[in-house]
Each structure stands twice: as structure tokens, then as C-alpha cells.
Chain A
Amino acid sequence: MIETIAASRCPRCGAVVAPPERFCPRHPVEMAPIALPGAGEIVSFTTLHSPPAGFRSPLHIALVELEGGARFVCHGAETRGLRIGSRVAIEAVDDVYYFSHLGAMDRARLFWRRAGRAGDRAQAIVRSLTKRVWKGTQRGSS
């Protein structure tokens, strides 16, 4: 199941950025909204051992070049085995984007990495699991 990622395109130079911006970073013109498939290649990645307040250590951050051109910053469950050029899928879990194919347990674990109130976390996990079950149903029926 591939997510769709909101992006925008410059009518002047064709540059695509994600998430969408109002103006092209390189031209003072309004960008047009487009959607990109949530899949691409790892451009670079790092593991932060002293992340800022609100994040759990270790924090994995990747820069991914999406199919369609835009580069995208996202999180990941781990970077073991990851290489520049690795193909990854992007999934949104409660509006936060993660690379790689994630199982339900991975999703649940990711929530605990991102600090927040316990209630929010539990709710988000339920939402995520519901979404996954629903997606499964969709896949089954198509």
C-alpha cells in the first residue's frame, strides 16, 4: 500500500517540493499543488543520539528522493542495513512520515519513540491499527 504525499510544483522552473510550499523557494511565484507516490530512494540518513526535547534517542532521520523529484525528510524505525540509494516506501502514521515497510508492531513502537501524552499515543496507535485493517480490507476487495 503506497501512501500519497502532498507536494507542490513551480510553474516557472518545474521544481517539486514536499510538503507543499506556497511559493517556489527559487522563484517568487505561487506553486501548484500536486500529489506524489510515497516511495523513493535514500539520499542520506543519520541517527541522532542527543535528539532535541520531544524526541526519544536514538532518533533516525532520512532524506528520501521521492519518485517525482521532491526530496523528503522522514523518520525510520532503524537504519540497520540502510544504504544511500536504498529503495524505501514512505508511510504516514498519524501525520508523521516514516520510511520502509512497517508492520503493526513497528508502527506501535514508533509512537513510543515520539514523545507525547500517553493518551495521545494510545489513541494514535488505535487509529493507525484501524487504518491498517481498513487498508487490508481494501486490498482484499480489489
Chain B
Amino acid sequence: MLDVWVLGADMTRIGRRDDSLQDLMAEAAHGALRAAGLEAPDALVVAAMNPEEFVGDGNFASNVGAYLGLAGTPAIRVETATSSGAAAFYAGFAQVAAGLRRTVLVVGGEKMTHLDTPRVSELIGRSIDPYERSYGATMPALAALVTRVLMARHGVGPREIAQVAVKNHANALDNPYAHFQRAVTVEEVLESRMVADPLRLLHCCPISDGAAAVVLTAERAAVRVAGIGQGSDTLALRHRDDLTGFAATRAAARAAFAMAGFGPERVEVAEVHDAFAPFELISLEDLGLVPPGKAGHATLDGETARDGRLPVNPSGGLKARGHPLAATGLAQIAECVWQLTGRAGRRQVDARVALAHSIGGLATNNWVTILEVERSQALP
């Protein structure tokens, strides 16, 4: 297997955008190509969770390829629900690692805010098991079932969960790409509207538009893909015995660290899938970044703040940067690349190893990607 490097990365500002999905994809893709100093890649991988219903377009790899001005470039589309961006990154990685392509452009995006919230919830909800959906289960409903168990069995308190949202909103204040540039307090989180008891509005990520892109290459560059892993689990939440953790994350982390040849102790910054605030606590433990049962305290103690031992979601995470579905896995990776190469502006942390963690569906198809900067390229 060849070493694979990230040659360039870019993303759009995330939020309510008037641009078409294709224009968002182009903004991110052309930005990543510019950053890579490349006019055209050998191949294109496109991530979009549901462009057929969000924007009414199909055959989406060719659709985006032609729009970008890459009609002659071989293109495929990859979809694993809300982790599609991370899965597309893997598809690009695999092509380069196998020696099939020298350079691959990976671009993911979603356009959702032009639809009303019930319609968006319904479309996202199609990633849920049909029987559970027939009982009115939505993503927040299933996340609430998980959260109640986490609170009862793991002793995680409301303030610890709220602090995840407070921290990530604070981080996003310094991220010009973020959906929200607004600080929130623990009290605001705890008093926000109840969505699915015990989850409140400010525990949940917003509905966002946006796109992100990276260029992968077999040529040596600043950032190397050290490890990448996938994990999967049952579609139905009721088919799982343990709701205090996600088996799909644990499997993905095991595979990614095995490929990297080192463990979680070397990770110095992480972008974690906090679609719901308690998921950040669950995931930190699943990833081995925090000992079991300690994520709540670590968060309250500031260990995961930007100036803490392990900065988690310096971008603001899904909670505050926003969650344009198939863009998210790639936006996390773009943030990691920027953090590793000293291009994260006012939210810069000091890190040589970064981890990105993406959850597909209700943790049915999860990804862990580990990036490492070459020592000579690291910040002084």
C-alpha cells in the first residue's frame, strides 16, 4: 500500500446559503485544487447523502463532475448517510493507496435549508430502521433514547452534556466558516426548548448548507493519512444491547489506530461527530481519547477546550460549525489539515496528529481518520 498525502483542502462557509448545491461543491472543490496547486485530478469522488430529494438531481457524480469542468475525469459517488464525506475520503484514499490514481479530488456537500424543518427531518430520518420510523422515531428521538441510558447508567449529568454545546459554540466564535458565531451558556442550553426529552434544542446541531473538499496524492506533501478505519452496526437501535457506546466507532478506531501503528495517546486535536451534544462524550470514550466514564468530567474540567490537554472540535463541531451532512466528514478533515499546517487562524492549536470521527445514521456506519504532519512541516 502506498503512502497517501493531503495536498490541499478547502470548504465553504457553512450555514444558510442561497447558492445551488453545485455552486457550493464548486467553491470547495476549486478551492482545494487551488490549495493543491493542481488544475485537474486523475479522478473525482463525490459525497452527497440525498441530492435526489434535497435538490432533485441524480446521477450525481457525473452531475458534479461536469459542473466543475471535469467532465472527462472518472467520477464516482459515495454514500453512507451522515458520514458520506468520510466514506468518500476513504474511497479516494483507497484509489491512491492502491496505485490506481496519482491524484484524487474528494468533494462532499449538501443543500437543505431551502426545505422546511419537518421535510428535512423526514429525509434524514429515512436512514432509520423502517419499523422504528413507523413509530415516529426521528434521529433526535433515537439520540434521546441513547442519552437517557447514558445519564442513568453512566452518571453523566445535564451540566456535563450542556458544556459540550457551550465549548463548541465558544470555539466557533473564531471560525469564519461556522454556521453560528454566537456564544451560549449552560443555563441557555438547559432552558432551551425540549425536542426529545432529555434532548433540548441547543443540544442538537443545526440544518446547514455547505461543501468541503480535499485533494489526495501519492506524492509526498505536508500531511499524511496515517490511518483510516470503518465500523458498522445494526440499522435498528433495538437490535443493540449496549446503548452507552457505539460499537461502530470502536471498530473504526481499532482499525484506524492499527493502520497508524500508534494509539490514541498521540492524538493532539480531534474533530468529533457531535450531532447531539452527548454524542461527543460517548465518542471520546469510544475513541479511547478519554478513559471510560471520564468524558463528562474531562469536558467540565476544560480538558477538551481549545487550551486544554486535548482540544476537541476547535472548529465548533457539528453543533456550531454546522452539519451539511455529506460535507461534514470532509469539513472535519479540512479543519484537521488546517490545524496541522498552522492555517487555522485564531482557533489554531499546537498539534502534529489529528483525528476526525464521523457517524453515519444512528451510528450504523462510522469512520475514523487519523492525519499526521511531517515533522519538518510542523509548527515551531
A interface with B by C-beta (< 8 Å)? 15, 17-19, 25-26, 43-55, 59, 61, 63, 70-75, 79, 84, 96
Q: Is the interface of B mostly helix, strand, loop or mixed?
A: helix
Query: For residue B118, which residues in chain A have a CB less than 8 angstroms away from its CB?
Result: 50, 52-53
Q: Contact: A44 with B195, CB < 8 Å?
A: no
Stretch from B6-14, B31-39, B132-140, B264-272 that touches the partner: B132-140
B228 to chain A, nearest CB (A): 24
B194 contacts partner chain A, Cβ-Cβ < 8 Å: yes
Give bound CA distance, A59 to B133, whole Å.
13
Query: For residue A17, which residues in chain B have a CB less than 8 angstroms away from its CB?
Result: 236, 238-239
Give bound CA distance, A49 to B152, whole Å.
21
25 contacts between A and B (CB under 8 A): A18-B238, A26-B234, A43-B149, A44-B148, A46-B145, A46-B196, A46-B199, A47-B196, A49-B196, A49-B197, A50-B195, A51-B136, A52-B118, A52-B121, A52-B122, A52-B125, A52-B136, A54-B136, A61-B135, A72-B238, A73-B131, A73-B237, A73-B238, A84-B149, A84-B153
Considering the complex, give the chain A residue whose CB is closest to the CB of B235: A25
Q: Contact: A47 with B136, CB < 8 Å?
A: no
B interface with A by C-beta (< 8 Å)? 117-118, 121-122, 125, 131-132, 135-138, 140-141, 144-146, 148-149, 152-153, 193-199, 234-240, 243
**B140 contact from A26, A48, A75, A84, Cβ within 8 A:** A48
Give bound CA distance, A45 to B243, whole Å.
12
A19, A47, A74, A79: residue with the most chain B Cβ atoms closer than 10 Å: A47
Give bound CA distance, A55 to B146, whole Å.
22
Q: Contact: A43 with B136, CB < 8 Å?
A: no
**B122 contact from A47, A49, A53, A63, Cβ within 8 A:** A53
Q: Contact: A73 with B137, CB < 8 Å?
A: yes
Considering the complex, give the chain B residue whose CB is closest to the CB of A53: B118
A43 to chain B, nearest CB (A): 7
Q: Contact: B146 with A44, CB < 8 Å?
A: yes
Considering the complex, give the chain A residue whose CB is closest to the CB of B234: A25
Q: Contact: B136 with A55, CB < 8 Å?
A: yes
Q: Contact: A48 with B145, CB < 8 Å?
A: no
Knowing that A46-B198, A61-B135, A73-B132 are A-B contacts, what are 12 other residue pairs whose CB atoms are under 8 Å apart, sorted by A's residue number? A15-B239, A17-B239, A44-B149, A48-B140, A49-B194, A52-B122, A54-B136, A59-B136, A73-B131, A73-B137, A73-B237, A84-B153
Known pairs A46-B145, A46-B197; A63 contacts B237 (CB<8 A): yes
Give bound CA distance, A15 to B241, whole Å.
11
Give bound CA distance, A133 to B99, whole Å.
72
**B137 contact from A15, A18, A61, A84, Cβ within 8 A:** A61
B148 to chain A, nearest CB (A): 5
Query: For residue B193, which residues in chain A have a CB less than 8 angstroms away from its CB?
Result: 49
Considering the complex, give the chain B residue whose CB is closest to the CB of A26: B234
Give bound CA distance, A63 to B138, whole Å.
14
Known pairs A46-B145, A48-B136, A52-B118; A19 contacts B236 (CB<8 A): no
